[in-house]
Structure 1
Amino acid sequence: MGEQFRLAGLPDAERLRALIFAAYSPIRELELHWPAANASLEQIQGNIVQNECYVLEADGTIVATITLSKGDDVKHITDLPFIKWFAVDPADQGKGYGGRLLDWVETRIIRDKLGASAVTLGTAEKHPWLLSMYERRGYESIYSFDPGNGDGVGHLLRKVVNPYEQSMIKSKRRGSTG
């Protein structure tokens, strides 16, 4: 059957709940206060309905998921697209599924469908490897903050997905014609 990228639907909610709960076990162990870490079935369903929840299926089984936020939860910080609830089934980690799904969302959805120059996401320094993983993938911290909830320093990260569009925006800000 191979691999398929697609939007999740409500029939996927139970599988996504199990996948996200298993993948976010380290988040709970670190006592990070991330909504996805303890999401109920109703919250998973709400995420599917209110946002764009994408999945990667391998041989008919969902192995990874990522959400493009459609809400106003980060509008006070960034006007760029914001991705969240990124998870790979622990049984399938290390097979490249997460990277392929993230690449697909960055290019096919963020750059090609939305026409955005960049994408953002958030993570915490307290997590032992997420910040460095995103930095290796081309993300840079553009804003640091402490939410005051015990998570420690968090970072809003940005990755430019359309360098041409980004340079055109900079040129227009400088008053240049091209």
Structure 2
Amino acid sequence: MTTLNIRVAVEEDVEELYYIMHQAFTPLRELGINWPSVNADRSMIRDNLCNTTMFVLEDEEKILSTISVRYPWEARKSVATYPFVWWFATRPECEGKGYGSYLLKYVEETFLRDTLKVPAVTLGTSGRLHPWLLNIYKRRGYKVYKERETKEGDLGILMYKTLIPEQFDENNLQRPTS
């Protein structure tokens, strides 16, 4: 029986994370998607390790999946008043085994809802270049709250998922613009 472990990524994981990110996002690069995660190099991964909470799901041998959480209180510009998940990737040879779903559920429920007590989580996806993800997130309970055209000709979609309904206020999703 395989034992799975979820932990926060560390510097020693950079090479393996680079492999996973590069391999998992190759199809998106080929579609012309130009997001940081799609083109992440080792330096960007180190920066992500320092500025977000980057989780990994691993078995006894290797990292299987990763996802990062950005916070609205970070120094860099945030897209919402709730935490934002990004850099979500699963080792391509492990796709379809439920590892990504397992890790995302842990981050949503155990970390964000039960530990940090945040009422909602947000994420961004593509509406045109890889629309299948939109439907996956909708099935997981995410709802669209903002769409915008990108300079690459894609439709950038921001989504949210309510984690604590009695504390969630849809009017607080977007930061006021100045």
Q: Structure 2: which amino acid aligns with 1:142? A: Y
Among 137, 141, 152, which residue is 1:138 paired with? 141
Matched, 1:124 2:126: yes
Question: CA shift at 1:51, angstroms?
Answer: 0.8
Structure 1 window deviating more from structure 2 (78-87 vs 107-116): it is 107-116
- 1:22-61 Cα offsets, whole Å, 9 max, x none, are 0001110110111111211111111111110000002231
2:154 matched residue in structure 1: 152
Structure 1 CA distance for aligned equivalents of residues 50 and 80 of structure 2: 22
Aligned with 2:152: secondary structure?
A: coil
Q: Aligned runs of 1:22-33 on 2, under 5 Å?
A: 22-33=23-34
* Contact 1:54/1:66 (<8 A) preserved: yes
How big is the alpha-carbon RMSD for the aligned residues of Structure 1 and Structure 2? 1.5
Indicate how the Cα distance of structure 1 residues 102 and 151 shifts in structure 2: closer, same or farther if over 3 A, else same.
farther
Identity of paired residues, percent?
Answer: 36
Task: Provide the TM-score with structure 2 as the length reference.
Answer: 0.88
2:19 matched residue in structure 1: 18
Structure 2 CA distance for aligned equivalents of residues 146 and 115 of structure 1: 33
Structure 2 CA distance for aligned equivalents of residues 165 and 84 of structure 1: 23
Gaps of 5+ in 1: 171-178
Gaps of 5+ in 2: 171-178
Matched, 1:55 2:32: no
- Name which one, 1 or 2, has greater alpha-carbon Rg: 1
* Contact 1:32/1:151 (<8 A) preserved: no
Task: Provide the TM-score with structure 1 as the length reference.
Answer: 0.88
Report the structure, 1 or 2, having the larger helix content: 1
State the aligned residue count.
166
Indicate how the Cα distance of structure 1 residues 20 and 151 shifts in structure 2: closer, same or farther if over 3 A, else same.
farther
Aligned with 2:80: secondary structure?
A: coil
1:175 matched residue in structure 2: none
Structure 1 CA distance for aligned equivalents of residues 109 and 50 of structure 2: 23
* Contact 1:24/1:36 (<8 A) preserved: yes
- 1:111-161 Cα offsets, whole Å, 9 max, x none, are 1121111100000112131111101111010011113x2141111000011
